[in-house]
Amino acid sequence: MKYAVWNNKGGVGKSFVTFITACEYARQHPDRRVVIVDMCPQANVSEVVLGGNGKGAKNLEGLLSAQPRRTIGGYFDERISSPHKITGNETSYILQAHKYNTNLDSNIYLIAGDPSLEIQAEAINQIAGQTLPSDSWANVHKWLKDLLDAISKKYDNATFFIDCNPSFAAYTELAIIAADRIIVPCTADGSSARAISNIGQLIYGINVPAAYASVSFSKRAHNNHLALPTIHSIPLNRSTQYEQKASKAFSAMYDAIKQRASDLMKTNSAIFSSAKNKLFLDLPDAHSVSVVTSHLGLPLHKIKLGKYTIHSKDTQVPKDSLTRYKAAFDQLVGQL
C-alpha cells in the first residue's frame, strides 16, 4: 500500500505526520519494510529520518553530493535521460534509515528528498507535454510509480508513506499517481477547509472551470488509464485539547472542514476509501514532543519522559502530552 500525505495548504504538519505515522506503522508491523518517500524539495522529512536537525542535514548533504545523487532527484536525473522506460537501477535509491539514524527501527527505509525537484519540474513538464510518443504524459507521470513498483517487486512486504509538497507542481502530480490512498492533515483554520475543496478540484477534477476541463490533471489521468488514489484519512492536527477533546474554538473550525469533506463525500463517494465515521481523528498539539522528535530524529516509542536539551535549552516532555500523542497515532495507524 502506498500512502501520500498531502494538503494543498502549507504548514499543516505533513512532514511530521509522515514521519511519526511511518515510524509507528513500522513498530506495529515489524514484518513490513516501511519506506518513507520524500517528494518535497525542502526535504524536511529526510533530515529528520537521517538523524534530526544538524546530523540529518549533514547526512542529507552527503547523499546530495554523491555521484550519482542517492536521492529522488538523482533518480529523476536518470529518467530525464530515459523518460519512457525504467532504468533498471530503481532499487539502488532505497536507503536503510537505521544506518544513518540508530534511533529508528531497522525496517524503516528512505527515498531521500532533493531540492533539485524544483528545477526538474520544468523538465518534467516539457517532456510530459511532447506529442510523441503519444503516451509521453503517462510515461513521465509514472516515474515515481515505476520506482516504487520496482521496490515492491523486489520486496513484496513494502508499505510506502510519501511526503508531498503543498504545491500541486509536477513532482506532486507524480506522487499522487504513485499513491493508492491520501492522508490529508488539516489545521484549525479557514484555509484548511478550502483545501478540501481544492483537493477535489486539483486531483479529481470536481468543479474545474469548463475552459480547463480538457487539460486538467484528472482528465489526463483518465485518458491515460492512470488510477487516482482515494482520500483515506483527515487528521485534524494541532488541536488544543480540554478534557481530551478539541477546544470549542478549534472544534468550530474543524466542523467547517468536516462539512466540506461531507459535502464532497455526498456527491463523490467513490473518491473516499473510509467511512465518514472513520475519516476524521484529532491529533493533539504535541508541543515539546514534536520539538524533540524533529531535533533528534526520534520516533514516539523512543521518546522518554523528562528533560531534553535542544539548542542549549532545556525542553520538558510531559507524560500527558506524550500519552495523548501516542494514543492518537495508534488510532491513525490502526485505520490504515
**How far apart, in whole angstroms, are the C-alpha atoms of residue 80 and residue 97?**
27
**Terminal Cα-to-Cα distance of the chain (whole angstroms):** 9
- Inter-residue contact 321 to 288 (CB < 8 Å): yes
Q: Which grid coordinates belong to 310?
A: 535542544
Task: Quote the pLDDT of residue 238.
Answer: 67
Q: 3-state class of 69 per DSSP?
A: coil
The three-point CA angle 328-194-125 to 5° equals: 100
Q: What is the pLDDT of residue 142?
A: 98
**What per-residue confidence (pLDDT) applies to 76?**
98
pTM of the model: 0.94
Strand spans (E) along 40-193: 95-96, 108-111, 158-164, 181-183
Q: Which pLDDT score, from 0 to 100, does residue 80 have?
A: 96
Give the H or E element holding residue 318: none
| 202 contacts 8 by C-beta, under 8 angstroms | yes
**What is the pLDDT, as a whole number, of residue 249?**
62
Sign of the alpha-carbon dihedral angle for 78, 82, 83, 84: negative
Environment class of residue 112 by beta-carbon count within 10 Å: exposed (0-12), middle (13-18) or buried (19+)? buried
Distances (CA, A) of 75 to 13, 35, 113, 252: 26, 16, 11, 44
Looking at residue 182, its pLDDT comes to: 97
What per-residue confidence (pLDDT) applies to 243? 46
- CATH of the domain spanning 2-200+232-334: 3.40.50.300
Handedness of CA 228, 279, 251, 295 (dihedral sign): negative
Positive or negative CA dihedral for 174, 177, 183, 186? positive
CA distances from 333 to 11, 20, 328 (A): 22, 10, 9
- Residues of the chain short of pLDDT 70, as ranges, are 238-250, 286, 312
What is the pLDDT at residue 241? 42
Q: Quick one: pLDDT at residue 286? A: 66
